[in-house]
Structure 1
Amino acid sequence: MIKAEYNVVAVMSGTSLDGVDIIHTVFSYDGDWNFKIFNAETRKYSNKWKNLLSSLVNRSLEELKEIDINYSKYLATEIQNFIDNHKIINIDFVSSHGHTALHQPDKGLTYQIGNNQVFANILQQKVICDFRVQDVEYNGQGAPLVPIGDKLLFHDYNYCLNLGGFANISFEENNERIAYDICPVNIVLNHYASKLNLEYDNHGNLASTGKLRSELLEKLNQLEFYKKPAPKSLGLEWVKMYVFPLIDNYNLSVEDTLRTFTEHIAIQISKVLKGKMTNTLITGGGAYNDFLIDGLKLKSESKILIPNNEIIEFKEALVFGLLGVLKDRNEINCLKSVTGAIKDHSSGKILFPNL
């Protein structure tokens, strides 16, 4: 049934492995989409889950299927605790991104764990999930999926830039939404910070003390991906194949590595942000990296805007909530101009609990 208001619990897990973002939000439609976030939490992964999720690309399909069941149970438990803690009632559905285990759209492959039937059974709630598979079946990249939310919820900004595991951007061009992954961000920065037993480089302080290594910077900027036209997307597999070996070949200190890679990020993003009369909304964990943000402000023409913490941290979860609403209404939530699919479509699957 098409409604004017939807009470949703929305869930996101990103490649940077910060944890599971869970929000309780209400979407309303009055000709434009509006939202209000009532509760929001990031539930940190245990070391066991972090290690398991970071090694998914090395797993066989059979192993992934077993992990999928266990991760679906884990997600359901975390979400139920969130619902209980905040005394949330009358939920229309849970809308969940799951976690990307395998993403090779050029081979027609994508696998999101956390979309198993047991998820809905444990919660005893309707669940809308698995938003990427159909797009890949339509010859799309299956990513990025957030731009429909940028278009409908954040249309006051010329550019919507998310700095998570990867930097991805969306904007309007010739009356079409354009979006793609620009470069790796926290998936690389956190990897090298972990060598000093740190989860991340707080505010970019370590990077700010390092030396810029121009030879490595030049090699990074020459990576073939940056020459490809959009739509295009990145995954952990690409980073492991091309980025880590290139960086490790130079045997630099962590500080020099972080300094050089942060410069690389700022260069790649600034190539995209054009026009002095434009503004750019920045979200994701990278918005807290002051050293990176300062570099972007120096290199880009666009005015950089950092929103409140709730939007920085939970915008992606919010948008996956909206994707669920649009799927429930059988309305377009996946744009061919963004993913390269053969048509716009309403993506995702709907799970009903077995009673």
Structure 2
Amino acid sequence: MKAYKIIGLMSGTSLDGLDLAYCHIWEKNGTWKFDIKDTKSVSYDAEMLNTLKDAIGLSAEKLIELHNTYGTWLGEQALLFIEEDKLDVDYIASHGHTTHHRPEMGLTFQVGSGQHLANTSGHKTICDFRTNDLALGGQGAPLVPIGDRIFFNEYDFCLNLGGISNISFEVKGKRIAYDIGLANMILNYITRKVDLEYDDDGKLARKGIINKKMLKRLNDLQYYLLPHPKSIGYEWFLDEVVPIVEETDDSIENLLHTSIHHICDKIAQQIKLNTNGKKQSLLVTGGGALNTYFIETLQQKLGEAINVMIPEKIIIEFKEALVFALMGVLRVEQQTNVLSSVTGAKKDSSSGVVYLPN
């Protein structure tokens, strides 16, 4: 089978920008292989960041307008990447940016119109990977576990620390995955109070001490009691978490320190519930994997039975973009790319909509 030459685009809930990964993906002897050939990250300027952050409050008309303009912007970024690096591309696979996620209402929305993206970039585009799963009764999330199973199955657990923390692992031949809860979303919200995009290497958090009242309020969030399949979005963060941060009168260092201990407590709790008593491996990717204090705290709470594995930086930063490239390939091949064991849908599906440029 030929190698697909495909660009994966990913914008996550941490709102730190757009990731582009140019990948070659092919199947050999029944196993999918990949090579990340080139990458690029585009940071959001203040206007774009605020527009995406506040999109949840837009009217229907303004939201569709953003859907179209952001799709055009994605196409411009993809085309610039292609032209700058002289890339030979078959497809673009785009996640878009999630503005609304209410699976209990059968609702999810990712801005970034596929038709605008295709027209602007001049390349066939695959996007809208979530809505079919919701139509089948699923959560529409998380989606990355298909990539964990296909590309990273040598690890017992795969943990992504983006805006949200999510976990993926196998149980009796079925992939199980769900959003554990908070990750960089709360950390970046706190650092932006002092005009920092993020806490570099966790240096500020390391200086802090635990605010016991805040920790208890975070630990008592009702979401943690729900069974999986489950997922969260920005609405949950605004409604449930932001008030806790705003009502805690303490230093930035203490807010960050407390948040990291809360996040690591919840991650360790979920992993320990699913261990088999043997030494096991945990692959950690996403921006949180670059935060030394975060990873030290997580390893401490997990203990010696779980070995925290930090891969090469290109995988840390571009794994999700890679997986959406894979999902695009699987859609073209009409193979399963969304797992019902993960989302709770009626059945597995081959999801995504293909847009041809005009």
Determine the C-alpha separation between the residues in 1 that align with 2:50 and 2:56. 12
Q: Tell me the amino acid that sits aligned with residue 54 of structure 1.
A: K
Determine the C-alpha separation between the residues in 2 that align with 1:227 and 1:283. 25
Determine the C-alpha separation between the residues in 2 that align with 1:10 and 1:209. 37
Aligned to 1:80: 79
The answer to whether the Cα contact below 8 Å between 2:101 and 2:107 also exists between their aligned partners in 1 is yes
Aligned to 1:310: 314
Determine the C-alpha separation between the residues in 2 that align with 1:82 and 1:193. 30
Percent identity for Structure 1 against Structure 2: 44
What is the number of residues matched between the two proteins? Answer: 351
Aligned to 1:110: 108
The answer to whether structure 1 residue 349 and structure 2 residue 349 are counterparts is: no
The answer to whether structure 1 residue 293 and structure 2 residue 295 are counterparts is: yes
Aligned to 1:29: 27
Aligned to 1:58: 57
After superposing the two structures, state which structure 1 stretch, 242-251 or 24-33, moved more. Answer: 242-251
Partner-residue secondary structure (3-state), 1:177: strand
Aligned to 1:284: 286
The answer to whether the Cα contact below 8 Å between 1:68 and 1:116 also exists between their aligned partners in 2 is no
Deviations 1:232-269 (A, max 9, x none): 11111101101110222222221111110110001000
Q: Tell me the amino acid that sits aligned with residue 197 of structure 1.
A: D
Q: How far is 1:47 from its partner?
A: 1.1
Aligned to 2:41: 42
Partner-residue secondary structure (3-state), 1:250: coil
The answer to whether the Cα contact below 8 Å between 2:8 and 2:325 also exists between their aligned partners in 1 is yes
Deviations 1:118-148 (A, max 9, x none): 2111112110111011111111111000000
The answer to whether structure 1 residue 248 and structure 2 residue 246 are counterparts is: yes
Q: Tell me the amino acid that sits aligned with residue 251 of structure 1.
A: D
1:210 aligned residue (186, 208, 211): 208
Determine the C-alpha separation between the residues in 1 that align with 2:349 and 2:246. 42
Determine the C-alpha separation between the residues in 1 that align with 2:54 and 2:180. 23
Deviations 1:269-300 (A, max 9, x none): 00122344110000000001111101111111
The answer to whether structure 1 residue 337 and structure 2 residue 335 are counterparts is: no
Determine the C-alpha separation between the residues in 2 that align with 1:244 and 1:67. 25
Determine the C-alpha separation between the residues in 2 that align with 1:62 and 1:343. 33
The answer to whether the Cα contact below 8 Å between 1:21 and 1:41 also exists between their aligned partners in 2 is yes
CA RMSD, Structure 1 to Structure 2 (Å)? 1.0
After superposing the two structures, state which structure 1 stretch, 3-12 or 197-206, moved more. Answer: 3-12
> 4+ residue runs of structure 1 moved beyond 3 angstroms?
none
Q: How far is 1:351 from its partner?
A: 0.3
The answer to whether the Cα contact below 8 Å between 2:281 and 2:306 also exists between their aligned partners in 1 is yes
1:9 aligned residue (3, 7, 10): 7
Determine the C-alpha separation between the residues in 2 that align with 1:220 and 1:78. 38
After superposing the two structures, state which structure 1 stretch, 110-119 or 304-313, moved more. Answer: 110-119
Unaligned runs of 5+ in 2: none
Deviations 1:187-206 (A, max 9, x none): 11001001111110111111
Give TM-score scaled by structure 2 length: 0.96
Determine the C-alpha separation between the residues in 2 that align with 1:236 and 1:335. 23
Partner-residue secondary structure (3-state), 1:265: helix
| Alignment of structure 1 residues 110-189 onto 2, 5 Å | 110-189=108-187
The answer to whether the Cα contact below 8 Å between 1:266 and 1:295 also exists between their aligned partners in 2 is yes
After superposing the two structures, state which structure 1 stretch, 268-277 or 94-103, moved more. Answer: 268-277
Partner-residue secondary structure (3-state), 1:273: helix
The answer to whether the Cα contact below 8 Å between 2:114 and 2:126 also exists between their aligned partners in 1 is no
Q: Tell me the amino acid that sits aligned with residue 287 of structure 2.
A: G
Q: How far is 1:4 from its partner?
A: 3.6
Q: How far is 1:216 from its partner?
A: 1.5
The answer to whether the Cα contact below 8 Å between 1:109 and 1:136 also exists between their aligned partners in 2 is yes
The answer to whether the Cα contact below 8 Å between 2:114 and 2:125 also exists between their aligned partners in 1 is no
Aligned to 1:235: 233
Partner-residue secondary structure (3-state), 2:270: coil
Determine the C-alpha separation between the residues in 1 that align with 2:162 and 2:114. 25
Q: Tell me the amino acid that sits aligned with residue 330 of structure 1.
A: Q
The answer to whether the Cα contact below 8 Å between 1:7 and 1:25 also exists between their aligned partners in 2 is yes
Determine the C-alpha separation between the residues in 2 that align with 1:14 and 1:203. 20
Unaligned runs of 5+ in 1: none
The answer to whether the Cα contact below 8 Å between 2:72 and 2:113 also exists between their aligned partners in 1 is no
Determine the C-alpha separation between the residues in 1 that align with 2:22 and 2:307. 31
Determine the C-alpha separation between the residues in 2 that align with 1:307 and 1:339. 26
The answer to whether the Cα contact below 8 Å between 1:203 and 1:288 also exists between their aligned partners in 2 is yes
Q: Tell me the amino acid that sits aligned with residue 342 of structure 1.
A: K
Determine the C-alpha separation between the residues in 2 that align with 1:234 and 1:199. 22
Determine the C-alpha separation between the residues in 1 that align with 2:329 and 2:241. 37
Partner-residue secondary structure (3-state), 2:86: coil
